[in-house]
Structure 1
Amino acid sequence: MRKVTSELFGLGILMLSVPFAAVAQQADNYSFTADSKAATSFTRDANKAVYNQLDFNNKTAFEDSRKGLIAPLANNGVIDGGVFNAPGLNFMQDKQAPESVNPSLWRHAQLANYGGLFKVTDHIYQVRGQDLSNLTIIETKTGIVLYDVEYSPKALAASIALYEQHRGKKPLRGVIISHSHADHFGGIDGIYAAGLAKPEDFKSGKIPLIAPQGFLEEAVAENVSAGNIMVRRASYQYGNVLQPGERGIITGALGPALANDNSGLPIPNKSITKDGEKVTIDGVDFVFYLAPQSEAPSEMVMYIPQWKALSMAEDVNHLQHNIYTLRGAQTRDAKVWAKYIGEAVARWGGDAQVQFGPHTWPVWGNQNVVEYLKNQRDVYQSLYDTTLRYANYGYRPDDIAEHAQLPKAVFNQWDNRPYYGNTRNNLKSTYVRNLGWYDGNATELARYPDAERGKRYVEAMGGEQKVLDAALASFKKGDYRFAVDLLNNIVAYDGNNKDANYLMADAFEQLGYQEENALYRNWYLGAAVELRKGGITSNGLSTTSPEVIAALPPELFVNYLGMLVDQIKAEKAGNATINLKLSSGAKFALDLHNGVLNRVPDFQAPKADATLEISQADLLAFASGKSSLDELESAGKAKITGDKAAVGKLNGIFALNLKNNMNLVLPLQPENRVK
């Protein structure tokens, strides 16, 4: 039997040729159970091989990640209510990697999970290890500016309390949000809990709340419009469905874990719209440059000239990032990502003395900062150039991902390892970003969806037992990738074959144990939990609470409701033109036409069937079925003029009963299917 290893990624995952013949007797000595399994010999060998591929004697990162520690996290980093468990995520400190964890990922967890209050440099402090992202506190002339505010309000409040315990309570002079991802703004309500500000302080502009151009639109598109499915996928990606431990979550890579909490949504009162824009807050100059379509659709980097302090936001980290994130989002542009980092080297390479960011740990000293930036730049430029070069030779995305040769001088550096962004995924994603999902093989155009395809494959192979036997043969030879591929043909349409479910879970588990990428590990192990439990219940993550939806700017709010219209029910309700007047003063022309709720902002139709005057909160209550129009009218919360029956056509057409417990491997549950 010939073994083929991938030198490209250094993962040590064994790819073995496996016979397809049915081997029924294999099942006689295999335990098809729901229990978690230990690492197999193939996994042990794969993980041992990693020690020979990377320089584990280099301890620089350990020194840097602990530099400037003022105090450990309060209460050992535990936030009650199951929000955060820092001790559970630091069990790996000062220990050797077990057989069930890739040693490179174990090493990174020892670095990324280490938390406390740190001094970055004079005037700049960070709380790390309390959420997936850092809280950076910048001390100004008479107060503080908060730079990114974590995902969880409870985590943010704990971080602020830790800072105040050691540096004193100072008035809040400003908030800066670097980009449109929830782990950087979701904790906004923690500012209120900490007593630093009130919501009206931001609404009035008394305290500047600064974000890049397009922030709110992109934040809503990602975390509200697509929020239900994205947060479900995020619970697998970040390991929120797993327990900390050698067979569970090790790290979130960018930080220890995503706090298990509901996020908020800030409304900026100041947008950065041009490169080089300077904002002075309480005696400190902040210079901003826009970096859209890099790590986020709306992102900006920042330089503080007085202190020669640079923050590249999430465009540089002590790891390789995602071109496409598994939780689902717009595919990013590796080419412009590299360009922004290159421009930073040209712009600040002669001056910057420290680089700090909302994830991982800082870099100190001009020479180190420049080398760090150049190395990160090289990752994204290499991904782009390699993908396009191979594509122009006719390679398909999967072939590029498996066979492209990349420079070890770039990809074997600790700061560029694939702890968060998987190199194979990044190559495929760069192909899709530039050429789309279609690889040129017409077979892709005719492909059935998984369930229909699976039924036909299983029938062609001679039934489910034949497929199970072939998958078990693959499993016993260490080819876990092919085992799950075979078993998916059953599981895609039949969630009741326990042997198939449990064997698929076991194979996913071994793939997770071998993974250097934290997100792939979490996803593989989360898939195993789903298969063993027959589905996973909902989790504590949410970016679409009723409070967040009701507080959206009017146009984004109305667009959100339009997205949730059940168009089959709306088609049966019939056509209607309705002028909507919200209590905020916003106006819309709603045209319910052929089942589609079209909306035109800042306009009133001259020949509307009716006019509805109502607040956003009450319109949301009506749309979600919590209040009827009659009840709202009687209470004076809604006013209808014209044809009341036209407004009545909106009744029952909104599908707001989204559940956050959908299967992602097993067939979709009946309660989650579109009715």
Structure 2
Amino acid sequence: MSTPKPATEATIRANRAVRDALPFDDTTDIENADRGLIVRATGQILTDEGDVAWDFDRWSFLDGEAPDTVNPSLWRQSQLVSKAGIYQVADGIYQARGFDLSVQSYIRGEKGWIVVDPSISVEPTKRGYDLVCEHVEDLPVTAVIHTHSHIDHYGGVRALVTDEAVASGDVRIIAPVDFLEESVSENVMLGNAMARRKAYMYGEIVGYGPDRAVGAGLGQVTSAGTVTLIPPTDIISETGTELTVDGVRIVFQHTPGAEAPAELCFYLPDHKALCGAEIVTHTMHNLYTLRGAKIRDSLIWSKHLHEMLQLFGDAEVLFSSHHWPTWGNAELRDLIASQRDTYRYLHDETVRLANKGLTPVEIGEQVNLPDALAQKFSSRGYYGSTNHNVKSTYVYYLGWFDANPANLHPLEPTDSAPRYVEYMGGADAVLERARDDFEKGNYRWVAEVLNHVIFADPENTAARELQADTFEQLGYQAENGTWRNFYLTGAMELRDGIRKQHVLVTASADSVRAMSVSMFLDYIAMRLKAPEAVGLSAKFAVVLPDIDERYVLELGNGVLNHHPGTADDVEATLTFDRSVLDGVVLGTTDIAEAVERGDVSVEGDAHTVRSFVQLLEKFEFWFDIVTP
């Protein structure tokens, strides 16, 4: 791996300006992040195969004042988020923090622990549970609450409970309506692209240190263990729903369509404790996540928070599924209100400026939070950012097109880049000017210009090296942890090429098993190479005898449609067990090979079936990003 370079004078000045602008003498967050510590967590957590699922000690460099290579605001956030251990929140409420991107919460019931949001994977979740049992109280798990449908809030569930315990009724699993469908669809249909981009977003392949990844703002990084999923037993679909779970009264707030399509928050009235799930944290969150996902609704988000204040405004402690708690009624009300106003400000300013005719890029440059919000560390852009959040809000309402006809049908970069470079006097002339701008600290412009040179000639070593240097300085200046990771990973891949290594792929076996057959068939349809399939027209019957389901597939015009049931006019009938579909999505089964092996039996026109399955795309995970 190439050696990172030091911060330039321009970067040092930029980072010092941040240090001078923010209230670093406010130590409230530091005190709260340390409050209630029972035991620190250290060392590594390994998978059964010996891979590192989580490393507590990798963040030991986060000590003292921020170095020149890290935005001091991000450095402070990473110091806070990397604190790892078991903490007491209130009587009967505990947390395992710093074990993964998310936080595990433990509520003492009459017979055992109610666990809120198991982490991404089994191994860190088990370590957290084991430490709670060792240092607080050794109790079984009687219920699990999944606050929402993102993987860092359910993936470790099998560390806590078994299918048998759930089936017998000994353990309840509580989740918001549509939890299962949203959990599965996000991680499978676009799973390949999202997982590759996630490796950039969390700095998973760039390494960790003062000149590498320092954290992602919401949490440090994602764990790399075993991802699991167990379907819920109790579904929450309405605000005000009250359940008594293992003797604990819980009042739920249904909060879909904001941070996640399926989400809930809840209040423990006997504890005066409020769980904000992931709609209230100590950072400005993403309205659009850079790994790629459906854009979130900032207006709905702010309205959920407003409702939370009305419903549960008497709470005395607020804990969420990321970061540290907030104690005191006035303090937690202030946090919720400032978060509410942050998302409302981003929404309303974007819509106002869009109505004046400004484009997403223009809005991104013009919108800044008012000082009353910008001076709050909890509204700083460590994970989301003002810039990319307002752009995404524009796209949420108006789409990608800014109405300028020049941007309606642009050339793709590999076609436009050579022309740009030619217009600018050739690659050597561009590089000469770019070096001059680099010395002046005009990094955003240099990055834009050099991108044309690289897409015109990806083997131009001088351009790649200077672009890598440019990305590096932009990363060093970034207050947003995910921006930093994108920049530094891009710099590394420009210098070293793509380094293939173990990363978490979210389409786990449990996620795939939770897919309906209809979702599977949509996934298969998405993989069809449509331009090559336009000449095929066929109707197939699909029979899954082990689950007693039947479907009709209609192939034509380069698309694959399906519906449940049977038909008499099919060219072929395909019979196979559900497990074959699981293997297809997980990449352990190739459909064409399964047909040849007989795992898929074909009655009728086998030739047409083979022609169809041979046109299913196979995705390469390590696709290019910073080069064509």
**Runs of 5+ unmatched residues, structure 2:** none
Deviates more, 1:200-209 or 1:309-318: 200-209
Distance 1:440 1:203, change over 3 A: farther
Q: May I ask how many residue pairs the two structures share in their alignment?
A: 622
Distance 2:366 2:43 in 1: 48
Does residue 595 of structure 2 align to residue 629 of structure 1? yes
Match of 2:200 among 220, 231, 236: 236
Q: Which residue of 1 aligns with 2:487?
A: 524
Residue of structure 2 in register with 1:417 after alignment: 380
What secondary structure sits across from 1:57 in the alignment?
coil
Q: 1:432 aligns with which of 395, 406, 409?
A: 395
Match of 1:172 among 117, 125, 141: 141
CA distance in 2, matches of 1:262, 1:626: 28
Unaligned runs of 5+ in 1: 1-32, 192-196, 668-675
Structure 1 equivalent of residue 37 of structure 2: 69
Distance change in 2, residues 1:621/1:374 (3 Å): closer
Q: Hey, what does 1:261 align to over in structure 2?
A: 225
1:279 aligns to what SS in structure 2? Answer: strand
CA distance in 1, matches of 2:216, 2:149: 19
In 2, Cα distance between the equivalents of 1:630 and 1:450? 41
2:248 corresponds to 1:284: yes
Corresponding position: 1:594 with 2:562: no
Shifted more, 444-453 versus 579-588: the winner is 579-588
Residue number among 19, 35, 50 corresponding to 1:51 in the alignment? 19
In structure 1, C-alpha distance between the alignment counterparts of 2:242 and 2:549, rounded to whole Å: 32
Equivalent residue number for residue 60 of structure 1: 28
| 1:554 has 2:523 as partner | no
Distance (whole Å) between structure 1 residues aligned to residue 551 and residue 229 of structure 2: 23
Shift of 1:649: 4.5
| RMSD value, Cα | 2.1
Map Cα deviations across residues 192-238 of structure 1 (whole Å, 9 max, x no partner). Answer: xxxxx322433565522221111222222211111111011111111
Residue 661 of structure 1 pairs with residue 627 of structure 2? no
Which residue is 2:311 aligned to?
Answer: 347
> Aligned to 2:355, which of 387, 392, 402?
392
Pairwise CA distance, 1:34: 5.3
- SS of residue matched to 1:120: strand
Give 3-state SS (helix, strand or coil) of 2:468's partner. helix
CA deviation string 1:392-431 (max 9, x = no partner): 2222111111123531101221111111111111111111
Query: Would you say 1:375 and 2:338 are equivalent positions?
Result: yes
- Identity, in percent, stands at 37
Aligned to 1:13: none
Alignment partners' CA distance in 2, 1:628 and 1:406: 56
* TM-score normalised by the chain length of structure 2: 0.94
Alignment of structure 1 residues 288-299 onto 2, 5 Å: 288-299=252-263
CA distance in 1, matches of 2:181, 2:514: 14
Contact in 2 for aligned 1:355/1:362 (Cα 8 Å):
yes
- Equivalent of residue 150 in structure 1, options 108, 111, 119: 119
So what's the TM-score if we normalise by structure 1?
Answer: 0.88
| Residue number in structure 2 paired with 1:459 | 422
Q: Could you list the per-position Cα deviations for residues 42-78 of structure 1 after superposition, in whole angstroms to 9, with x for gaps in the alignment?
A: 1111111112201111101100001100001153778
Higher alpha-carbon deviation: 570-579 or 284-293: 570-579
- The alignment partner of 1:453 has SS state of helix
1 CA distance for matches of 2:346 and 2:123?
38
Residues 153-177 of structure 1: per-residue CA shift (max 9 Å, x gap)? 2111111111121123312211111
Letter in 2 for 1:578: A
CA shift at 1:144, angstroms?
Answer: 1.1
Partner in structure 2 of residue 136 of structure 1: 105
Please state how far the C-alpha of 1:502 moved relative to its aligned partner: 0.8
Cα offsets for 1:56-105 (capped at 9, x unmatched): 11101100001100001153778762322221113213x01111011111
Shift of residue 577, structure 1, vs aligned partner: 2.8
Q: Kindly provide the amino acid, as one letter, of the partner of residue 321 in structure 2.
A: P
Equivalent residue number for residue 186 of structure 1: 155
- Identify which range, 362-371 or 400-409, moves more after superposition: 400-409
Residue number in structure 2 paired with 1:311: 275
Structure 1 pair 408–522 and aligned structure 2 pair: CA distance change class (3 A): same
Task: Tell me which amino acid in the other structure corresponds to 2:36.
Answer: G
The match for 1:613 is 575
Contact 1:180 1:216 in 2 (8 A): yes
2:42–2:56 Cα contact (<8 Å) kept:
no
Partner of 2:56: 86
> How far has the Cα of 1:492 moved from its partner?
2.2
Question: Aligned in 2, Cα 1:285/1:136: closer, same or farther, shift over 3 Å?
Answer: same
Please tell me whether residue 163 in structure 1 is matched to residue 124 in structure 2.
no
Alignment deviations for residues 576-606 of structure 1 (CA, whole Å, 9 cap, x no partner):
23243352223322112233221113x2224
Larger mean CA deviation between 34-43 and 504-513 belongs to: 34-43
Preserved contact between residue 262 and residue 540 of structure 1 (Cα < 8 Å): no
Alpha-carbon distance between aligned partners in 1 of 2:214 and 2:583, rounded to the nearest angstrom: 41
Distance 2:27 2:534 in 1: 64
Map of 1:478 onto structure 2? 441
For residues 149 and 258 of structure 1, what CA distance do their matches in structure 2 show?
13
Greater mean alpha carbon deviation, residues 617-626 or residues 465-474: 617-626
- Aligned mates of 1:281, 1:483 — CA distance in 2: 57
**What residue number does 1:26 align with?**
none
- In structure 2, do the counterparts of structure 1 residues 369 and 121 end up closer, same or farther at CA, with 3 Å as the change threshold? same
Change (3 A) 1:152 1:447: same
Q: Identify if the C-alpha distance between structure 1 residues 242 and 408 changes in structure 2 by more than 3 Å, giving closer, same or farther.
A: same
Q: Quick check: 2:43–2:56 contact (8 Å CA) kept in 1?
A: no
Residues 468 and 578 (structure 1), Cα distance of their counterparts in 2 relative to 1, 3 Å cut: same
Correspondence 1:101-140 to 2 at 5 A: 101-140=70-109
**252, 261, 273: which one pairs with 2:237?**
273
Within 2, Cα distance between the matches of 1:415 and 1:103?
Answer: 15
Aligned residues of 1:579 and 1:608 also touching (Cα < 8 A) = no
- Kindly tell me: are residues 405 and 245 of structure 1, through their superposed partners in 2, closer, same or farther at Cα, counting changes over 3 Å? closer
* Whole-angstrom CA distance in 1 between matches of 2:418 and 2:509: 41
Per the TM alignment, residue 275 of structure 1 is displaced from its structure 2 partner at its CA by: 2.0
Q: Secondary structure at the match of 1:271?
A: strand
Matched, 1:604 2:566: yes
| Residue in structure 2 matched with residue 12 of structure 1 by the alignment | none
For 2:509 and 2:428, how far apart are their aligned partners in 1?
A: 47
